[in-house]
Chain A
Amino acid sequence: DADVTQTPRNRITKTGKRIMLECSQTKGHDRMYWYRQDPGLGLRLIYYSFDVKDINKGEISDGYSVSRQAQAKFSLSLESAIPNQTALYFCATSEKSSGITRNEQFFGPGTRLTVL
């Protein structure tokens, strides 16, 4: 069974629609992250959460919001989707550790979102 799961895996929507992407993990990690991947741009951090009550904006948070419903669940919402939010979205998790595993992140399989 996958440790980090994302739903849906693919989604096509229209401009102006509200979309929620969900992420669940069974790794028991405290920290969770949302990234988007665009061709030629690598991965960019949208939001991250160090625990249920600690949520932080990343590099490109405008147009997105998140909810940490539980330690194992972290959702990303697009309140009013626009075409330039078409991308591959990844959820990731990491341990709360200062040892050699510091910030080794584990990724979900991704959600491909297309906004028409």
Chain B
Amino acid sequence: GNSVTQMEGPVTLSEEAFLTINCTYTATGYPSLFWYVQYPGEGLQLLLKATKADDKGSNKGFEATYRKETTSFHLEKGSVQVSDSAVYFCALSPYSGAGSYQLTFGKGTKLSVIP
């Protein structure tokens, strides 16, 4: 079946540090890949997405590149801010088949950024 594995947290960084949150996946074919963010007390929001190999999703200074050869979609940001403190979820949606409109989530990585 489909699965998503992301690095366990919590991750604590100082402001302006470089962020990487690793995400790897298992799926057949070419799934779509997503990063969602959950700020304290809120629901999940889509942060960025990529739908085919070598695509780079980007938003709010965050980037992730769809790497088919390593089945990875690592999230990066060059300089984090306190306001980036949140839980980050990697997710996939299969390309086709009965489950093609469902999302499979990783367990989430909590990021805390300290001033």
Chain A residues within 8 Å of B, Cβ to Cβ: 4, 31, 40-45, 48, 50, 58, 90, 92, 94, 100, 102-110
Contacts and interface: CB of A to CB of B under 8 A. Distances in A.
B103 A102 contact: no
A48 B100 CA distance: 13
Contacts of B101: 31, 50, 94, 102-103
Given A31-B101, A42-B106, A50-B101, A107 B43 contact: yes
A45 B102 contact: yes
10 contacts: A50-B101, A90-B43, A102-B93, A102-B100, A103-B102, A104-B34, A105-B44, A105-B46, A108-B43, A110-B43
Contacts of A4: 43
A103 B103 contact: yes
B51 interface: yes
Interface of B: 32, 34, 36, 41-46, 49, 51, 89, 93, 100-103, 105-108
Given A42-B107, A100-B51, A107 B34 contact: no
A41 B89 CA distance: 11
With a 10 A CB-CB cut-off, give which of A31, A40, A48, A105 has the most chain B CB atoms: A105
B100 A90 contact: no
Nearest to B4: A42
A97 to B, nearest CB: 9
A109 B42 contact: yes
Nearest to A97: B101
Contacts of B108: 42
A107 B102 contact: no
Nearest to A90: B43
Contacts of A104: 34, 46, 49
Given A102-B51, A105-B46, 16 more contacts: A41-B107, A42-B105, A42-B107, A44-B105, A90-B43, A92-B44, A102-B93, A102-B100, A103-B100, A104-B46, A105-B103, A107-B36, A107-B44, A109-B41, A109-B43, A110-B42
